[in-house]
Amino acid sequence: MSSATEPGFDILGLSPELLKAVAEAGYTTPTPIQAEGIPHVIKRRDVIGIAQTGTG
């Protein structure tokens, strides 16, 4: 569940279609690796991320 201290996917620059799909899948709050990586991917930058398996 998203809260005032946990920003949702809406601040990451996703298209309305992707935001709808994410919401329909039941996700409300990005994991730290998603929050860090998604904005760079949207800008078509290469990303190498390190996170524990299963965290996004």
C-alpha dihedral (51, 52, 53, 56), degrees to nearest 10: -50
- Predicted TM-score (pTM) of this structure: 0.74
pLDDT by residue, tens only, the chain of 56 residues: 544 567 899 999 999 999 999 999 999 999 999 999 999 999 999 999 988 887 66
What is the C-alpha to C-alpha distance for residues 45 and 27, in angstroms, rounded to an integer?
Answer: 24
Q: How far is CA 28 from the centre of its chain?
A: 9
Hey, which residues does 6 pair with through a beta bridge?
3
Helix (H, G, I), strand (E, B) or coil at 3: strand
Within 1-56, where are the H helices? 16-24, 32-42
